[in-house]
Amino acid sequence: MISTAIRVARVGSAAELAAAVLMLLGFPCLMLAALVPSVPAFAAAAAVTYLADHYLHRRGSYLVNRLSKVRAGLSIRFLIRQLLLILLLARLSLADNLIYYGAIACFIAFYGLQAPHGALTTLIRNRRRMPVATRNVDLASRIRIPDAPPRVLTHRAAEKMLHLDLVAVGGILLAAALDSPLVGFAGIGVTVLLGTAYVLALVPYVRGRRIPPKADQVLEAVDDWLREYRPETVLYFSGSRDSAYQVNMWLETMEQLDTRPLVILRERVILANLAPTTVPVVCVPGGVHLMNLDLSTVRVALYAANVGKNIHLLRVPTMKHVFIGHGDSDKLASVNPFSKVYDEVWTAGRAGRDRYAIADVGVRDDDIVEVGRPQLAPIEPRRAAPADAAEGHRPTVLYAPTWEGWDDNPGNTSLLLAGENIVKRLIAADPPVRVLYKPHPFTGTRSAQAKAAHQRITELIEQAAAERAADPRFTADAAARDRARAELARVEARLAELAGGGDRGDEAEASRDGVIDVARYEETARLRDAWNTAYWNSFPDWEHRVITGAQPRLYDCFNVSDAMVSDISSVVSDFIASGKPYAVTDSAGLGAEEFKRQNTAVRAAVILSNDAAALTELLDAVRDPQADPLAGERDELKHYLLGPDEPTSLEQFNAAVAQLARKAETRNLGQESRTVVGGPDVEPADALPPQAASVTGETDGTAAN
């Protein structure tokens, strides 16, 4: 019941739902208290509405943000509370009292201050919004960008301004309760003075040297930087907040290019969610601004998504355009007909090429280049055969199901029909194995049944872990565990310190100061590796574990596992890079042959039905790699999906960039020669060298004869 209400109200938790209910019920209670009249009841209801409203705003609740659409926005809620206070005073027979008129004058003056306050904050925000926002671009030496106003003035400014009425409301209520107008007038005076001071504090930031440069100056400075930096390869991306991962997955590859890289983004929300990187980043929301940037040195443009805004860069003929995508799977998105607009389409392996051939969407085979998946470099290959239990090592099996999806297709996830069977069989395995359970972050967000299954699986694993910890057959080096936990705490503290030190102001200030501290960046990368090592050492290697959250990452779980059980998703394609045994659940009951026919990535997998009986085949392959019947098929499938191991994917990627850059340069030189020979309006045939013209004429003549 509560979960349904949470989903319908679009709130994130039971606490948010409770706060929303309290806020919405608080206003009728305010009216009732005003009509009774009762000062204590009114004060209590007002306190509830203030606190609930503030909590929901701090949580960024969807519900409270949508109230403005039904004319119940933040300002209206404060106004209603103030009008009800006036009603309370009237019902208390204070209509002829000076405090009554003082309250009315206060709230009129207070709302009179809202207009200049709102105008100033909007003007400051708009003036400090850059036409081009940047990271790792040296703008400070080219233009003067003043400091942002103090965050206390601009962050949630409307909410802060409105809450200044607290002093007046409290003073008026005390005046009514104590029959002493003095305390009421004191509260009124403080509220008006604070509101006036807030407005005056904003004024300096809309005049003089505290105003950022105009748009044309910023654009000129960015162009000046581009001419100095001379970018050669661009990663271009446009999308929504939720799609930021699609560009983030390519940042490390861009850092390792042999050419000078540049990332071009089209939405500020993507810039705000961009992962730390040493690559220069330029965010250009305006299409006209983008088309006027000096990108004359760029020879290769890489596109991670098929979106409409790609046309703003695709129109530039001096660079070659490549679709690189954001994953490798059998989904229809992997063979989008829009891909015809690019000069080339890069796929991981032969499977991507074959998908386009089968789909027949107009992408020529000659325009497809296999470059591997550079993002999979952190995935380690299969280790030597696990030692037996007597030697202290027990195999680790990762269960990484995907989420329930947007519909109720039984093939979406194994959690509902097979999840508990899978976990029970793994826990009961003999010889024993360790189970790691890492569910998809969206698990249970749409389906209550999936959430309940996840909770039952979590309880199964935690109970099994507790039983194993009490079993004398499973021992651990307590001192080593304590050292690892201490190291983990030290690393986490330092990471928090590094993250806190990178806080920047608004967009203008962030662009000015957005050159990354390379030493800090490299230290953070080293600490993340150290965190990962300390984490796995902080508990015994036989302990079952439920892993949620961003850390440890999925690839880290791959590296400590000897096998994986999953569903149809990109997780399977990525795990294939390890060469380790894996199983995939046919939750929809298609049958093994049909399941393999429809899904390339499962052709070398152990296929599980919902009873998970075939898990014994997977465990046998883990315990005795020499008797692994699917090892050869996995190796073939890995090469088919992801390309060869040598040269490395990064080397293949760099080679493809270099080759395409040469094609772009050849094209540009040809255009330049054409212009030099005959001028800008010359026809292609007229620009041919004499020898070529002669050959062409002879050929034409022969053909005519």
CATH assignment, 215-376: 3.40.50.11720
pLDDT the model gives residue 34: 95
CA atoms within a 13 Å half-sphere pointing along the CA-CB vector of 584: 28
Would you kindly state where each structural domain of the chain is located, as residue ranges?
A: 2-210, 215-376, 389-476+539-642, 477-538
Residue 240 has pLDDT above 70, yes or no: yes
Residue 460 has pLDDT above 60, yes or no: yes
pLDDT the model gives residue 496: 87
Higher-pLDDT residue of 669, 71: 669
pLDDT the model gives residue 63: 73
Rounded to an integer, the average pLDDT of 471-475 is: 86
Amino acid at 296: S
Q: Per-residue confidence at 439, pLDDT binned at 50, 70, 90?
A: very high
Comparing CA positions, the residue from 314, 339, 446 lying closest to residue 347 is: 339
Range 577-602 burial, b when 16+ CB lie within 10 A, else e: bbbbbbbbbbbbeeeeeebbeebbbb
Taking every pair of C-alpha atoms in the chain, what is the biggest distance, in angstroms? Answer: 115
Question: What percent of the chain is modeled with pLDDT above 90?
Answer: 56
Cis-peptide, bond into residue 181, ω within 30° of zero: no
**Residue 354: how many CB atoms within 10 A of its CB?**
15
Residue 683 has pLDDT above 80, yes or no: no
Rounded to an integer, the average pLDDT of 610-625 is: 92
The whole-model pTM stands at 0.80
Q: Per-residue confidence at 695, pLDDT binned at 50, 70, 90?
A: very low
Q: Per-residue confidence at 680, pLDDT binned at 50, 70, 90?
A: low
pLDDT the model gives residue 575: 93
Higher-pLDDT residue of 375, 405: 375
Round to whole Å and give the CA distance between 390 and 369.
Answer: 49
Rounded to an integer, the average pLDDT of 337-352 is: 89
pLDDT the model gives residue 444: 86
Round to whole Å and give the CA distance between 335 and 607.
Answer: 26
Give pLDDT tens digits for 258-291. 999 999 999 999 998 898 999 999 999 999 999 9
pLDDT the model gives residue 684: 46
CATH assignment, 389-476+539-642: 3.40.50.2000
Are 215-376 and 389-476+539-642 the same fold in CATH? Answer: yes
Strand arrangement, sheet containing 396-400: 545-546, 434-437, 396-400, 563-566, 582-585, 606-608
Rounded to an integer, the average pLDDT of 295-320 is: 93
pLDDT the model gives residue 170: 95
Residue 154 has pLDDT above 80, yes or no: yes
Rounded to an integer, the average pLDDT of 412-424 is: 92
Give pLDDT tens digits for 526-560. 999 999 999 999 999 899 999 998 789 899 999 99
Residue 694 has pLDDT above 50, yes or no: no
pLDDT the model gives residue 140: 87
Per DSSP, 418 falls in state I
Give pLDDT tens digits for 44-95. 999 999 999 888 888 877 777 777 777 788 899 999 999 999 999 999 999 9
Question: What percent of the chain is modeled with pLDDT above 70?
Answer: 91
Comparing CA positions, the residue from 18, 295, 613 lying closest to residue 282 is: 295
pLDDT the model gives residue 68: 76
pLDDT the model gives residue 689: 40
Higher-pLDDT residue of 385, 233: 233
